[in-house]
Amino acid sequence: MSLPGFWDEPERAQKVVQQKKLCFQVVDPIDRLHQLVEDGHVLIDLGADDPKAVESDLKAGRAILEEGLHGLEFQLMLGGPHDMSNAIVTLQPGAGGVDASDFAEMMLRMYVKWANKKDYEVLEMDYQKAEEAGIKNVTIIIKGPYAYGRMKAEQGVHRLVRISPFDGNARRQTSFASVEVVPEIEDDLTIEIRKEDLRVDTYRASGAGGQHVNKTDSAIRLTHLTTGIVVSCQTERSQHKNRDSAMKALRSKLYQLELSKREEELAKFYGDRGSISWGNQIRSYVLQPYQMCKDLRTLVETSDVAGVLDGNLDPFIEGYLKKRKSEAKA
């Protein structure tokens, strides 16, 4: 990175910067813990004659050390082939009408807040607003080290129980939304997409507007006819750039399907997922008559539903990864 001309090729330079971040994610925590241990030995030597003088410092160092070791243990769970990749996340409302569309928008806000806490970047690929409230469909890319490794815990159907703000009689309603998560695969991946299997539609982008955005058919929708996978992108002003982004997302999803044939990793999502409704949920968010958020796969639960909807997802993600790891050992 210190070589002259490093930034002459911005795309290549960004990949190197990303690799550096991944390396630092592994090396930095180990270096910090190693330094803590060395500092502890120095404190022990200094307190040989008067242990009470260094006791509080040693206890504080031990607490930091235990927290750091816990973080390293969590890092070991992120060892999948694409766990280090960015995550492409698609949210879609299910059963529940307007409440489901609103719930999908609540989940979008939850994931954006979670990503911000992790210093991840969130880019909106496609956003389709529902007619009355909430969203009809949205696809975002969460960019950062191990974004996919963490976000894959969220894949599945989510359920919300609350007093509906859209019901004049203030009745309790149950609504559902689905989350699809795939890793962002680099362009050098060999995935053959035949022209005859691809339908390309262009349309006028929706959104805040600006020069060209709402004046030309710059948005792209790609339909892979063989699998039925649909990918849209309307972020960029250029139709060419939108097409490149959509192709990258489509390639990622096709790669995941290819993996599922060998590993059955995503088979239940694309094949046996069933409807986005009762009986298929992985997690429930109950706001009335009591407060409870419970993951039905790991039984991790909390009464702080507001905190979860504000992005405090780590206990659920960690519980899922621990369960996956224990199942792999068994």
- pLDDT tens column, 98-122: 999 999 999 999 999 999 999 899 9
* In a shared domain, residues 96 and 119: yes
Is the Cβ–Cβ distance between 155 and 269 less than 8 Å? Answer: yes
What digits encode the pLDDT tens for the residues 24-69? 877 888 999 999 999 999 988 888 888 888 888 899 989 999 988 8
- pLDDT for 186: 66
Alpha-carbon gap, residue 235 to 140, rounded angstroms: 10
* In a shared domain, residues 25 and 150: no
Query: Residue 50 belongs to what domain range?
Result: 6-76
* In a shared domain, residues 159 and 30: no
In a domain, 307, yes or no: yes
SS3 286: strand
Can you tell me which residue has the tokens 């507001």? Answer: 306
- pLDDT for 266: 41
- pLDDT for 209: 46
* In a shared domain, residues 25 and 69: yes
- pLDDT for 148: 93
Total of domains in the chain = 2
* In a shared domain, residues 60 and 91: no
* In a shared domain, residues 148 and 117: yes
